[in-house]
Structure 1
Amino acid sequence: MDAEITITELTPDLATAVVRLCERALDLPEDATEAAPIVDVLWPRASADRTVVGLGAYRGADLVGVLLGSLSPADPGVGHVDLVAVLPEQRRQGVGRALVARAEAVLAERGVTEVLLAGNPPYYAWPGIDVRYTPAVCAALALGYRQDRTAWNMIADLSYDDSPALRSTEAGERRLAERGITVRRAEPADLPALAAFARSTFGGTWDGELAGSVGRAGAGCHLAERDGQVLGFAAYGSSRPSWFGPMGTDPAAEGSGIGGVLLRRCLRDQRAAGLDRAQIGWVGPVPFYSGSAGARIERVFFLYRRTLPAA
């Protein structure tokens, strides 16, 4: 008879074991190959900046499943389940259910009244549950979660020189220069101005994502400025090495061509790093990315939430 499931708190010394489990448990190759940066962005790197819940499921001495969760930085009453991974041979045996139940209890103890199966920016690996993880979708519904949103990623093909995603930006940069606009790579010294621009123009948590992109290995950011004032930015690698975003342009400068130039500069960086495709995460303006980089919608995610029962 199989040993009972035991749920314990993960400790930092288990990071390597958590990555190895995720490499086996994440069924989609684009996720399995980035298991290490996914774990790094969700746990423990983020632990210095937010409250993170890390749980391991054991059968005897064997780690068979993990859950990583967090509290919303915007609303202390909201918690997130950021990742659930169970070894393939251990599925449909109550491991995921036990992990989620314990996570809900831990989050409730910290004042959470609603739990989301959805990304928690600025530290996230997916917007929600990829629809191709069908067992996870079924489990969410069985656990009482309701779908309330849909999100999608677009893919930019970097695999060949003539890809629309890799079109030259030289002519666009010349036109911008004629208007006094400079485009360049962002440096760590630019981060305060970039973060202030992101907060004041767009709100949200893009300033945190920029902090995860500027000056970090495997990540980067390009900006446009005029007379020392930031007019736009595009970043990549904050969430995952293969992901592009966020990007934003001052509403007063929309239509100037800044966005397309910044986007393709970043995509060329990612191609130079050895990637043959880039994921544009949690996309809003589909027509812009389609026109500027030939990107197509590929990954679709369901986002779920559940109100916890009163104690």
Structure 2
Amino acid sequence: MSDMLVKLYALPPVSPVLAAVENQGITIRRAMAPDKPRIVEWVKTHSSLSASGEADVCFSHTPISLFVATRGKEIVGYACYNATAPDFFGPTRVLDSEQGKQIGKALLLRSLHALHDEGYAYAIIGGVGPQQFYEKCVAATLIEDSKPGIYKDYLGAKE
């Protein structure tokens, strides 16, 4: 999977998307330290062992570089940034049963706006899965010859 580039200075506003998911009873918020064991386990179960390692790293940053989507106390999705490398977005995941409800878009925009607020002008979406989703949501563009990119020495097997 190739990487994609996003212009953080040209992001759409996050407020309308956050309002749309809040109307469905979903809260998007920055994770807190006490959330770590539950979130890392959820990521391991619903994403992969490698993604749980990346989520774990996010808790060592100040501020924590992971946003979580919840319905009450139930986790329905997450998004990491600055996990594999500085200025990288991902990994991210929304439960299959919750997809198509703008939760992924809200997590993406909240994370990318956080990167912008931290002073970055551009962000890299690493090892993109749904390319069209990122093109549509944030006008991301493919970075040529970026496969496998930073992941070339990755030790993990297919998960």
TM bucket normalised to smaller: 0.7 to 0.9
Alignment CA distance shift 1:171-1:248 (3 Å): same
Query: Per the alignment, in what secondary structure is the counterpart of residue 18 of structure 2?
Result: helix
TM-score (norm 1): 0.46
What percent identity do the matched residue pairs reach? 27
Question: For 1:175, which of 20, 40, 50 is the aligned residue?
Answer: 20
Aligned CA-pair RMSD:
1.9
Alignment CA distance shift 1:156-1:266 (3 Å): same
The structure 1 segments of at least 4 consecutive aligned residues displaced by more than 3 Å after TM superposition are 301-305
Contact map agreement 2:70 2:76 (CA 8 A) in 1:
yes
Alignment of 1:60-71 (within 5 A): none
Count of aligned pairs between the two proteins: 150
Q: 1:262, CA displacement in angstroms?
A: 0.7
Distance 1:267 1:302 in 2: 22
Residue 232 of structure 1 aligns with which residue? 77
* Aligned residue identity for 2:3: N
* Aligned residue identity for 2:2: W
Residue 2 of structure 2 aligns with which residue? 152
Q: Where in structure 1 are there 5+ consecutive unaligned residues?
A: 1-150, 306-311
> Comparing both structures, which one devotes a greater share of its residues to helix?
2
Q: Where in structure 2 are there 5+ consecutive unaligned residues?
A: 154-159
Is structure 2 residue 108 aligned with structure 1 residue 263?
A: yes
Residue 145 of structure 1 aligns with which residue? none
Alignment of 1:62-141 (within 5 A): none
Query: Per the alignment, in what secondary structure is the counterpart of residue 238 of structure 1?
Result: coil
Distance 1:302 1:183 in 2: 31
Residue 54 of structure 2 aligns with which residue? 209
Larger Rg computed on CA atoms: 1
* Aligned residue identity for 1:263: L
Residue 251 of structure 1 aligns with which residue? 96
Q: Whose RCO is larger (CA < 8 A, sep 6+)?
A: 2
Query: Per the alignment, in what secondary structure is the counterpart of residue 58 of structure 2?
Result: coil
> Comparing both structures, which one devotes a greater share of its residues to strand?
1
Q: 1:219, CA displacement in angstroms?
A: 5.8
* Aligned residue identity for 2:84: S
